[in-house]
Amino acid sequence: MTKDNIEFPDASKIKEILSGVHYSDAKTNIVEDGLVKDIKQDGDKTIIVVEAAGERAEMLALEAHIKTALSKANVSVEKIKVQFNQIEGAPPISPQVGVRRLDKIKHIIAVGSGKGGVGKSTATMNIAATLVKMGYKAGILDGDIYGPSIGRMAGYESTVPVKIENEKIIPVKKHGIKMISFSFLIEANRAVVWRGPMLGKAIEQFLFDIEWGDLDYLLIDLPPGTGDVQLSLVQLIDLDGVVIITTPQGVALQDARRAIDMFDQVKVKILGIVENMSEFICPHCGKGTHIFSSEGGQNIAKGLEIDFLGEIPLSKTVMDSGEKGFPITAVDAAHGEPGSDTLKVLKAYENIVKQIIKKVDTK
């Protein structure tokens, strides 16, 4: 069965696939135990009706498992909707969340945000470069498969020849950071239109078919928002937690709150909030000005009882270094004396990274 010839996926085929989905540690599956009540067409959507007892987090986890199973079997999940009916007395679901640890990686941390363009990728690169400077082995998985930017920020203009050994992808090493991004595999400026099954498989392959070797920290640069990709990524892997990046504007803060809510729902630990582009540092005089409202990140952290990890100034040097493919925090003696605005940024990252390390080590 190929995806292309499925206008409406065949209900019996879906049922067969779903019989590989477990809803708890038990060996039984959601079909055998009668949790799948119906598979029906509604307009251009296929609705899978599941009746169970469980919290929203468990429902979301089960949905991710269902969609992953369908994807793996080449069924497009774009038009599949999982409808949950909370039924008292129905089997309680407790699908395993984040069951897989990646071998030889001590800590896995996601970097996320609600809004796009707030500086997740920049922060991911700089956190990794700071970790490397501190003597840790760090890696980056560019989880942004629609708009991968880690490659460009590391100085790769287009595709990169990626080695495969023993059927595993070998990450590229740049600035001391091991990294893998979809941009290594696709040409720059070519829009990527991942369709359901490809997406599911790509994510899974990306997560589990990379030979990272020993790593102290693997950072996952998440795509913006709170959609299916984020959900799959965070459900399939045993994360130590997520760092939320926001900018000080009201809209970004609102979206950050939404992202925090999603991670809470799926029981991913929020390590803290970082406010990026908090104040503008003048490259000439080194003085800081709050262009946007100040302390927004701190205030939502306080309101939601989440730790505030620090603020990173808005600096032309940060932006330029991203453009030049050289993370600002990888600056060393070979690149001359850093200016005062650069120093401020380096200090900010150092502080943030120290707090992250403390948090995951005492987990």
Ligand X SMILES: Nc1ncnc2c1ncn2[C@@H]1O[C@H](COP(=O)(O)OP(=O)(O)OP(=O)(O)O)[C@@H](O)[C@H]1O
- Minimum CB–partner distance for residue 284 and ligand X (Å): 16
Cα distances (angstroms) measured from residue 356 to each of 125, 129, 246, 313, 327: 15, 14, 16, 19, 19
CB of 276 to ligand X, least distance (A): 5
Closest to 242 measured CA to CA, from 55, 113, 363? 113
Q: Which is nearer to ligand X, 27 or 284 (CB)?
A: 284
Asked if residue 139 lies in contact with residue 104, where contact means CB atoms within 8 angstroms, the answer is no
At residue 166, the 3 state secondary structure works out as coil
Place of tokens 């005062």: 340
Rule CB under 5 A: say whether 329 interacts with Mg ion.
no
Q: Which two tokens stand for residue 92?
A: 């309680």
Binding mask 61-100 for Mg ion (x = CB under 5 A): ----------------------------------------
Residue 119: name its binding partner from ligand X, Mg ion, none (Cβ under 5 to 8 Å by kind).
ligand X
Contact predicate 22/95, CB 8 Å: yes
Q: Which two tokens stand for residue 228?
A: 């299916």
Rule CB under 5 A: choose which of 24, 74, 121, 315 binds Mg ion: 121
How would you class 299 by CB atoms within 10 Å of its CB: exposed for 0-12, middle for 13-18, buried for 19 or more?
middle
Site string for ligand X, 244-283 (x = CB under 6 A): --------------------------------xx------
Write the interaction track for ligand X spanning residues 191-230; mark x where CB under 6 A is met and - where it is not. ---------------------------------x------
In the list 24, 74, 76, 122, the residue contacting ligand X (rule: CB under 6 A) is 122
In sequence order, the 6+-apart residues with CB closer than 8 A to the CB of 12 are none
Q: Tell me: does residue 149 bind ligand X (CB under 6 A).
A: yes
Positions that interact with ligand X (CB under 6 A): 113, 116-122, 144, 147, 149, 224, 276-277, 312, 314-315, 318-319, 322
